[in-house]
Amino acid sequence: MPDRLRDTATIFFREITPELRSPVSMFFTMGQPLLFLVLFGSMLVGADANLGAGTGDVWQWFVPGILVMMCLMGPLSAGHSMLSELNGGQLERLLVTPISRTSIIFGRTGKDTVTLFVQAILITAVAVPLGMELHLPGALATMGLLIVMAVGLSALSYVLAIASRPSGNLFWIVTQMLIFPIMLLSGILLPIDAGPGWLGTIAAINPITYVVDAARALFTGNLLEATVLHGLLAATAIAVIGLTLSTRAMKRGI
């Protein structure tokens, strides 16, 4: 077991080193969420939308959505880089060493999660001067919830990358077809209630919806709502499924 821990740390540090060497790149990959935050968010505020869960703070409604959006985009690019290392010789080079197979997934997922955590803190920090009222314990609880989901999503994107070899087509088809519907149908950018009934039905089977709702509740400091429990269950389910599938894929051999 300590071997596996050590191997996971080895992969984690391999993946995080380029980020540490040029921290600016991490900021650039945040471009889209930042843009959404500043432009879209300001518009929502300007339109005087009635979005907050009673509190009336549009930022507190919008920022958790952007954080979830990052948790969807981050794993996407992580899976993409895994795919290119699978097709190049990089992964093979690691697999020929005695390193534990699953540590390759755990190490990478760990790095993705740390990156997302740092980005989430940055987004939150940017939102405060824009006018968001920060509820610190609530914000931290939100991050905790999102980390659980991010672990699962990044593991799932690795499973998808492995299954897509060698062409990578499957990866693109699935991600292109899934990411945007998932994003729109989880109420990240606009409230689902505003749409027709069938939209609400689809949103109700989208696990991300529950995470978004939970994140919003937590963000305003409502730590003990049923929504939070549902979101936590959804995030945990995603994490368990992701880690189980990815571990199995690695053990079966690439």
Partner 1 sequence: MWMFTVPFWMLTVQIMSAEQMIRAESLRRTFKAGRKTIEAVRDVSFDVAAGELVALLGPNGAGKSTTLRMLTTLLPPTAGSVHIAGFEAAREPRRVREAIGYVGQKNSSGENHRIRDELVTQGRCYGLRARDARRRADEVLESLGISGLAARTPGTLSGGQRRRVDIALGLVHSPRVLFLDEPSAGLDPRSRAGLWEQIQLLRREYGITILLTTHYLDEADQMAERIVIVDRGEVIANGTADALKADLAGDWMRVTTSDAGAARAAAGLAGRMTGISEIAIDGSTVHARIAAADAALPGYLRLLDQDSITVTRAGVRRPSLDDVFINLTGRRLEESGDAHETTADQPIGATHA
Among 89, 131, 137, 144, binds partner 1 (CB under 8 A): 89
Among 32, 50, 84, 201, binds partner 1 (CB under 8 A): 84
Shortest Å distance, C-beta 126 to partner 1: 24
Shortest Å distance, C-beta 68 to partner 1: 24
Cβ proximity to partner 1, 8 vs 220, nearer residue: 8
What is the Cα gyration radius of the chain?
A: 19
Q: Before 191, cis peptide (omega within 30)?
A: no
Shortest Å distance, C-beta 85 to partner 1: 6
Shortest Å distance, C-beta 3 to partner 1: 8
Among 5, 47, 88, 133, binds partner 1 (CB under 8 A): 88
Shortest Å distance, C-beta 21 to partner 1: 7
Neighbours of 20 (CB within 10 A): 9
| Among the listed residues 145, 152, 161, 149, the one whose alpha carbon sits nearest the alpha carbon of residue 216 | 145
Among 30, 58, 83, 183, binds partner 1 (CB under 8 A): 83
Binding mask 115-154 for partner 1 (x = CB under 8 A): ----------------------------------------
Binding flag, residue 10, partner 1 (CB under 8 A): yes
Among 93, 125, 204, 223, binds partner 1 (CB under 8 A): 93
Token code pair at residue 47:
């339109």
* Residues contacting partner 1: total by CB under 8 A: 28
Binding flag, residue 114, partner 1 (CB under 8 A): no
Binding flag, residue 168, partner 1 (CB under 8 A): yes
Shortest Å distance, C-beta 45 to partner 1: 34
Give the interface segment with partner 1, choosing from 38-46, 51-59, 75-83, 113-121 (CB under 8 A).
75-83
The string of DSSP letters for the chain reads -HHHHHHHHHHHHHHHHHHHH-HHHHHHTTHHHHHIIIIIHHHHHHTT---SSSS--HHHHHHHHHHHHHHHHHHHHHHHHHHHHHHSSHHHHHHTSS--HHHHHHHHHHHHHHHHHHHHHHHHHHHHHHTPPP-HHHHHHHHHHHHHHHHHHHHHHHHHHHHTTTT-HHHHHHHHHHHHHHHHTTTSSS-GGGS-HHHHHHHHH-HHHHHHHHHHHHHTT-TT-HHHHHHHHHHHHHHHHHHHHHHHHHHH--
Residues of the shown chain interacting with partner 1 in the complex, contacts defined by CB under 8 A: 6-7, 10-11, 13-14, 17-18, 21, 80-81, 83-85, 87-90, 92-99, 168, 253
